Amino acid sequence: MDMPSEMQHQVMGYDRAATMFSPDGHLLQAEYAEKTVRLGSASIGLLCKDGVVIIADKRVRDKLISPESAHKIFEIDSHILATAAGILADARVLIDQAQVLAQQNRVTYGSPAEPITIIRMIADRKQFFTQYGGARPYGVSLMLCGVNKGKSYLYASDVIGSFFSYRANAIGENDEKIKEVLRKDYKEGMSIEEGIKFGLKVFKDLLGKNFEVSRFEVGYVKSSDEKLARLQGEELKRFVK
């Protein structure tokens, strides 16, 4: 009886190190990390005509946890925000490094960092941990967005350090289902307010009876002021029909 390909790879030890390719060209530890990302709660990022917005599912079910301590949207700088799916402890380390880089840019050049500078550093850091032994890959996907000189940007980076620019994107649980909706219904001309309504509707249709507005957090940056603003809990009820 033939053994399945993935089981053969495990028996032969190809999944023991992130730096070891399997015979058919896979980095199995990196693929396992991708599966971890898809277990994380979902987030949607949208470019809008007046800025950029992220709608994130915090998925905090334990009533003993203080809601203020559970965040899925992180401030990199006043004009850049990010969200993550996967192991949030891994994300926290990358976010800390991104915040330092953003502040170094302000001190050195006297101007805010460009979003692509931040996402490239994060992607480089992730790639480093697929090329050298002694550490596992970061088990997290990061979506970063911001406004620079009046123009909006949205990027996403996977576990191996690839990154792309998007008009709309989703990471985390059911990301492919959400992307299908985005491909069909996303419109570039929508405002931030319309984007929030659209993103929450996508989650409402996906979650059904499990949808609760209290489990979501929204962050956005307007092109006009380039300042991060947050909405959560009761503040989001007006966006849900």
The domain limits of the chain are: 27-239
Q: Which segments of 125-167 are extended strands (E)? A: 140-148, 151-157, 163-165
Residues 6+ apart with CB under 8 A from 34: 158, 159
The encoded tokens of residue 204 equal: 């409402």
Q: Is 2 helix (H, G, I), strand (E, B) or coil?
A: coil
* Proportion of the chain above pLDDT 70, given as a percent: 92
User: What pLDDT, on a 0 to 100 scale, did the predictor assign at position 18?
Assistant: 66
User: What pLDDT, on a 0 to 100 scale, did the predictor assign at position 173?
Assistant: 94
Q: Which helix or strand (DSSP H or E) is residue 76 part of?
A: strand 73-77
Q: pLDDT (tens digit, 9 = 90+) per residue, 63-72?
A: 777 767 778 9
Q: pLDDT (tens digit, 9 = 90+) per residue, 90-126?
A: 999 999 999 999 999 999 999 999 999 999 999 999 9
Distance CA 39, CA 141 (A): 11
How many Cα neighbours within 13 Å face the side chain of 110? 0
Superfamily (CATH) of domain 27-239: Aminohydrolase, N-terminal nucleophile (Ntn) domain (3.60.20.10)
Q: Which residue numbers in the chain have pLDDT < 70?
A: 1-14, 16-18, 67
